[in-house]
Amino acid sequence: MKYVVCVPDGCADEPDERLGGRTPLEVAHTPVLDALARRGAVGRAGVIPEGLPPGSDVGNLAILGYDPAVHHTGRAPIEAAALGLCLDADHIAFRCNLVTVGDDGTMVDFAGGHPDSAAAAAVIADLDATLGARSWCLDGHEGRVSFHAGVQYRHTLVAPAAWAEVECVPPHDLTGQPARAPRGPAAEPVRALMEASREVLARHPEVAATQIWLWGQGPQPRLEPFRSRWGIEAGMVTAVDLVRGLGVLTQMTVVEVEGATGWYDTDYEAKRDAALEHLAGGLDLFVIHVEASDEAGHAGDVDEKIRALENWDRRILAGLVEGLDALGPWRLLLLPDHATPLRLRTHTSDPVPYLLVDSTVDGPGGVYSERGVADRPLVAGHELMGRLLDR
């Protein structure tokens, strides 16, 4: 049996006025997905446990079958793992966005104008050389920090463990609002570092970002490897460090694909082919993650969100089903890691629709949409991996 997990990031939504009260999942032309839903089983999954932030770290942790309420220690330490950073107990990681804050203090762009990764890496190197060389004080204790370049606007700061006691607002929740500074016992050095970054960014007019924004901090979690937890070999493809970090921490085979961008223009076919290639090559399970639908949600872009779903259908699912059939019996699980409603332009904790398909047994059938699963019982997201694997 081969297993595929499909994650259209943030694809779940709300009825939208611009779509005549329908959702992108209901409007998108997805004949392959519709057919899979008719032969499978649909349901409603709670991927974000109560009290945890509705992020891709929490949602994807659940999708991989690890209860986020038990294992989640923060978002940034997962991304740090993706960069190959192994943190000791004396250090934590912060997500370090390059952001654009207007002269009036408004969070104009949490993505700092989407700089390309090479330009961003030069900025991060300058930040590390300038601010990493200084000592930052918290309660009389001197501490050092280091900056590590990731992808586009998404980077990592490693800081002393004592800096964990601070409340930071995710910058994508501040779009168009005053950029609220961090609060709490450890806020002082975090604020000072963000403030000091402005002088460094001023030296880099080639990027639209004006400063760094620190958030999502925590120590690195110790996760049981996927192979010992589930007894099978798994791999994944994603363009997002956050999701890749979960693959690294669970010791999955993390496949790099040329043309995977984390943006609308990502190479869908290359991800599909990577899945089929590695399943044919001996892996038992493969996770395909595509970020485009989430980015469209954040942008409030109705057309791109629909296009992302149609791209899934035409450029991944169609060929995937064909390729899986050629390999033998298979099962598929499809669900987003959280909802990113177009109207709200940020993540929510709302339950999301899931789809389970077994190539050898027909399910009760259904419609894969928010409305299609509205009356189904709520399943904890981290239990779906067990259902997929029949454990």
Distance CA 329, CA 339 (A): 31
Return the number of the residue (204 or 298) whose C-beta is nearest Zn ion: 298
Least distance from C-beta 338 to Zn ion, angstroms? 5
Token readout for 269 is 């076919």
Q: For residues 261 and 378, what is the distance between their CA atoms, to the nearest angstrom? A: 33
Q: Output phi, psi for 181, to 5 deg.
A: -70, 155
Q: Which helix (H) or strand (E) holds 142?
A: strand 141-143
The least distance separating Zn ion from the CB of residue 291, rounded to whole angstroms, comes to 7
Ranges of H-type helices in the chain: 24-27, 31-39, 56-63, 68-71, 76-82, 117-131, 187-201, 226-230, 241-249, 268-280, 292-299, 302-311, 318-327, 384-389
Query: Smallest gap, in angstroms, from Cβ of residue 244 to Zn ion?
Result: 13
Neighbours of 284 (CB within 10 A): 17
Q: Which is nearer to Zn ion, 174 or 208 (CB)?
A: 174
Q: How far is it, in rounded angstroms, from Cα 152 to Cα 318?
A: 30
Q: How far is the CB of 309 from Zn ion (least distance, A)?
A: 15
- Comparison of 10 and 40: residue with beta carbon closer to Zn ion: 10
- What is the closest distance, in whole angstroms, from the C-beta atom of residue 346 to Zn ion in the complex? 11
Q: Pick between residue 128 and residue 294 the one whose CB is nearest to Zn ion.
A: 294
9 or 304, CB closer to Zn ion? 9
Question: 3-state class of 344 per DSSP?
Answer: coil
Judged by beta carbon, residue 297 or residue 372, the one nearer Zn ion is: 297
d(CA 61, CA 44): 17
Contacts to Zn ion by CB under 5 A? 9-10, 56, 294, 337
Q: How far is the CB of 300 from Zn ion (least distance, A)?
A: 16
C-alpha–C-alpha distance, residues 255 and 353, integer Å: 27
Residue of closest CB approach to Zn ion: 56
